[in-house]
Structure 1
Amino acid sequence: MADSTDSWVSGLPIQNPTSLGFVTKPIDETIKLIYLAGIHNIQVFTTKPTRILGTQADMATSIPTKNLCVKPQNVATSNRGQKKANGDEIFQMSDTGHQINSVWIWLVDVFELPDTADREQVTANLVKGLERALGDHPELMGTMHCDNETKRIVIKLPEGGSAALHVKDATAAEDQIPSFAWYDEHDYPVHRLERAHLIPAEASTLLMQVAADLDTPGPVVAAFQVTFIKGGVIISIAISHQVSDGFGVDAFMTTWAAYSKAATTGEEARLDANIPPHNLFTATTKPTPDEWEALRGKYPTMKYNTAPPPLLHADFVLPVVKTRVFHFPRSKLVALKAECSAGLPAGEFISTYDSVAALWWRAMLRAKRPLLKFDDSQPTHAILAVNMRKRAGKPISSRYIGCSVGIPHSDDVTVGQALGPRAEALPLLARTIRGATNQVTPEYIDGQMKWAAVGPDLRYNELNMPWFFGQDCMSFGWRDMNPYTSHDFGFGLPSGFRWPEMGFDNFLFVLPSRASVRGKGPDEGLEVTLGMEESYFPHLEKDEELLAFCEQRGLGS
């Protein structure tokens, strides 16, 4: 590891990476890594030549964008903020939202749409739908700010606030954004859904810089875009992850879709009338200092900082993460689950998700071991994103768009155990993953909210996770999202649903099944994205055990 006297990082304070839970062994003699605790992410400096995701798109000829003002005619929801004397409305964020890094969630739906469709009318109906959806969730028209009196992050909505719907016509720009036919043929590869083209500029940066105070202009909470392509249309959305999560963004898209379809057909939208506030997961009572201390160590992925992090170095570049979509056929999922359930005690349960994550865990370690050179005695863990809606012990409306992510940390497993004989290792890892998920109970959720509620300073929280060059399995289950049945904006359901240009090292995302999409066969199972720093990806693509159960989609794209 480089020391603080290296001239290429002159003036930057360097923290002990051991305290951050990251690998400390040399990765390669040609690579220098410095891990800095960051307000929004773990920032990595490297002397290895690298390129930045999105550069090609950024350098391409700009596609003209039309920005339409969207202002709800009726804000009927009772979920309102605190009105200030100057007309600003201040919305409080949830306790669980404060535990998430300041980034956006980006999601896109890709639809077939004939080139003969009336794009002006399609756009007009989307505007009407978005107006009504924002009337249900006015906080999404606000901006993100630090409240330095309460030491929390809040949303500020100016009086008469509005949002913008960005509209691009890329039907004649196939050199930059492929046609619908191309996307459909290649199964919607995430690396060809480029955020420089599909996400509005105000929400397209990797990290969100929350405004330092209530008077400084802040980043938008949400951004919306419609991109017409040859033979289709892409609807894109970005929402602050501190305000929402993947399931919340899916829920908002369902609402926008229902209202847009109603504008198209004249039929009323069928939506649950119960709209919970986005900050639902907030502690109802504050713990005493002793009660708060008793929670210490139970939420190791939730980290508090009491001061802002050091600024990014001027030469900062992110390691390049390669992410591809893989498909697990239904028949092979059955076989994998059976293998992972071998020797399972009576009454215990292993899910398909547990099985896929266990397989990924082993494949990830095998791919990284030649370069990271970790030994059999070192620990490795599963770090999971768990949707707390279904584990809160009470029903929660499907209209809830807030952030309610539990991120349990599994018990230790050694690298030797994880990479041991397959017949022993796969069941062990699947049970370990299930055990981590089962940590998330109503009591766990109550404790997580209280752990945040009286934190010393909620402006600078972050997730304590190995963002790059780690050896932990990080897995997110989005299988229960409903884009392929609920995102009908008036011109049919999407045939592709993705996080565009996804770039998370060590991350597995289990996506909603496309089994209902036209043209998919009876063995259509689950799609997943596997992401890894590009140096390791060639090992992953040739992993025989992994490829015995899945195949890579979008080859040649």
Structure 2
Amino acid sequence: MAIKVEVVSTETIKPSSPTPSHLRNFKLCLLDQLAPLYWVPILLFYSAAGDKVANSALVTGNLKTSLSRALSLFYPLGGRVKGNTAIDCNDEGALYLEAKAHFELSEVLSNPDINQLQQFLPFSPCRVALNDEEAVIVGVQANFFDCGGIGIGICISHKIADGASVSAFLTAWSEISLNGINCKASRITPFLKASELFPPKDVNFQIPHRFTSREKLSTKRFRFDGESLTRLKARFGSTAPTRVEALTTLIWKSAMEAARKRPEWKEKYPPLSAATHTVNIRSRMRPQPLPENALGNLWQVTVAPLMDAHKGVELEDLAGILRKSMTAIDAKYLSVLQGEKGLAKAYESLMAARKLAESSPGKTEVYGFSSWVNFPFYEVDFGLGRPAWACTTGHPIENIVYLMGTRCGEGIEAWITLRKHDMVEFERNNELLQFVSLSP
């Protein structure tokens, strides 16, 4: 798919009302301080639907007006990051680009390419520019296709937002677009007090990047429909995993087997393996769960290690290891995270996989999973109907997997990045192929 997107205008969208002076210094919470220095990307594609997309001027006017109002609610997103401690809520606004895509949206939907999809974003989500205090926190690009379809690309700084935060912002923005600023206030007004729950600390380090040249990696999309996931879950018997747990286990096992076919492992011991998974902690907070529209990096990383490289591993074994690691993020864990030892606890969680690799006698292949399956991206309606497709472009990180829901609500699509050699073997895995959907 050779495509070219032409940016035709660039402007700044400021919040519709000024941020009060007493709110201008927004403190980052501890988990924000430890968040990686890049942007969270999401793409929403809308098919042509008669008059609703015929007039690009009306559409973009509505998008900009409602974005301005949404930035007033999520006022930190209209500011600028100040070092690693706070956001200056100075109302400098979001970057907004309009672009023309001189081809059909169907070309994207039928044959998506991770490298080409980057063109629909306002900038690369991997750029490390947060040391520049002028860097915007939110960037938007509205892409208008010749067929009348629209693609909206959003990047939000990971310093203040995780996947759930991006979903909450898009929900508020779209509801304001449809119904005005006063619609369902309890649903669209964000919770902005994460720093009171996880007070900031004197953090003098950053979590290192693991970006790799895309030339050395292969990223592909694999789709699993609802019927396939039901069959997959049945393989686990009484273990009864969730869809995400079952699929994570299948991908982990298949990737592990692919890595062990590398030429360098023929005469050596096979590598050990571990899976990390991000866990949204909002619903796990006690005594009161946090709302899903709580702004911030409210997640923790779990590590599920498989330390015997020679043992034959079944799906049930991996599922048990995975679930044990994820259930460890409980009320007791989060209580420590909120206390005086919070920094040590958070650092321990983030660096666990690296320490595991360094302490093992042989190489440990670590596979990182992040699930956005339950975020309501397919409910984001700017007056254009529901998205035909919602996806993330991810980042060029080896052994990373992003799980996204599908439009029907029952399936999952996985964007998987592996070494090129590993991907060739991964795609041949017979157990995996039993469950991959052949439909686009």
If the TM-score is normalised by the length of the shorter chain, which range does it land in?
0.7 to 0.9
- Contact 1:333 1:525 (C-alpha < 8 Å) held by counterparts: yes
1:161 correspondence with 2:92: yes
Whether 1:144 aligns to 2:71 is: no
2:376 match: 482
Whichever residue aligns with residue 423 of structure 2, its letter is F
1:370 equivalent in structure 2? 261
The DSSP-based 3-state class of the residue aligned with 1:444 is helix
**1:544 CA drift (Å):** 0.8
Partner of 1:65 in structure 2? 8
- The letter of the residue matching 2:126 is L
Aligned partner of residue 542 in structure 1, secondary structure: coil
- Structure 2 residue 327 is the aligned partner of structure 1 residue 434: no
For residues 407 and 81 of structure 1, the distance between their equivalents in structure 2, rounded to whole angstroms, comes to: 36
AA in 2 matched with 1:276: F
Distance 2:115 2:395 in 1: 10
Q: Aligned runs of 1:6-405 on 2, under 5 Å? A: 63-75=6-18, 89-114=24-49, 117-146=54-83, 152-158=84-90, 160-170=91-101, 173-174=102-103, 179-186=104-111, 189-191=112-114, 193-195=116-118, 197-201=119-123, 204-211=124-131, 217-231=133-147, 232-262=149-179, 269-272=183-186, 274-277=189-192, 279-280=194-195, 282-283=197-198, 306=205, 317=213, 320-341=216-237, 344=239, 349-371=240-262, 373=265, 378-393=271-286, 394-405=288-299
Q: State the distance in 1 between where 2:216 and 2:88 align.
A: 34
Distance 1:119 1:350 in 2: 45
CA contact (8 A) 1:96 1:448 kept: no
Paired letter, 2:251: W
Write the distance in 2 (CA, Å) between the matches of 1:94 and 1:190: 36
Counting only pairs closer than 5 Å after superposition, residues 440-459 of structure 1 correspond to structure 2 as 440-450=329-339
Answer yes or no: is the 8 Å Cα contact 1:144–1:156 preserved in 2.
Answer: yes
2:423 matched residue in structure 1 = 537
**Inter-CA distance 489–320: structure 2 relative to 1 (3 Å threshold):** farther
Note the residue ranges of structure 2 that are not aligned, 5 or more in a row. Answer: 358-362
**Matching residue of 1:23:** none
Separation in 1, partners of 2:400, 2:213: 20
Residue 199 of structure 1 and its aligned partner are, at CA, apart by 1.8
1:448–1:409 distance in 2 versus 1, CA, 3 Å: farther
**Structure with greater helix percent:** 2
What is the DSSP-based 3-state SS (H/G/I as helix, E as strand, rest coil) of the residue aligned with 1:100? coil
Identical pairs, percent: 19
Classify the secondary structure of the residue corresponding to 1:109: strand
1:379–1:415: 8 Å Cα contact kept in structure 2? yes
- For 1:284 and 1:501, the matched residues in 2 are separated by 29
- Who is 2:300 aligned against? 406
Residues 425-444 of structure 1: per-residue CA shift (max 9 Å, x gap): 11010111111110111221
State the 1:445 CA deviation.
Answer: 2.0
Deviation, 1:75, is 4.9
TM-score, length basis structure 2: 0.84
For 1:65 and 1:278, the matched residues in 2 are separated by 38
Relative to structure 1, is the Cα distance of residues 309 and 64 closer, same or farther in structure 2, using a 3 angstrom cutoff?
Answer: closer
Q: Is the 8 A contact 1:95 1:281 kept in 2?
A: no
Contact 2:29/2:199 (<8 A) preserved? no
> Residues 205 and 386 of structure 1: is their aligned pair in 2 closer, same or farther, counting only changes over 3 Å?
closer
Q: Distance in 1 between matches of 2:439 and 2:420?
A: 17
Q: For the residues of structure 1 that align with 2:12 and 2:158, how far apart are their CA atoms? A: 23
1:307: Cα distance to partner?
Answer: 8.5
In terms of Rg, which structure is larger? Answer: 1
Describe the superposition over 1:346-380 as per-residue Cα deviations: whole angstroms up to 9, x where unpaired: xxx52222111111111111111222528667532
Cα distance, 1:206 vs structure 2: 1.4
Cα distance change, pair 282–219 in 1 and its aligned pair in 2 (3 A): farther
Q: Which residue of 2 aligns with 1:4?
A: none
Question: 1:320·1:503 contact (CA, 8 Å) conserved in 2?
Answer: no
Partners of 1:354 and 1:492 lie apart in 2 by: 31
Change (3 A) 1:305 1:163: closer
Distance 1:377 1:320 in 2: 21
Q: Compute the TM-score of the two structures, normalised by the length of structure 1.
A: 0.68
CA drift at 1:268: 5.1
Unaligned runs of 5+ in 1: 1-55, 84-88, 147-151, 288-303, 517-523
Q: Tell me: CA distance 1:114–1:193, structure 2 relative to 1, closer, same or farther (3 Å).
A: farther
| Distance in 1 between residues matched to 2:298 and 2:69, nearest whole Å | 24
Contact 1:389–1:396, Cα closer than 8 Å, also in 2:
yes
Q: Which residue type is aligned with residue 168 of structure 1?
A: A
The SS at the match of 1:382 is strand
Deviation at 1:477, TM superposition (A): 1.9
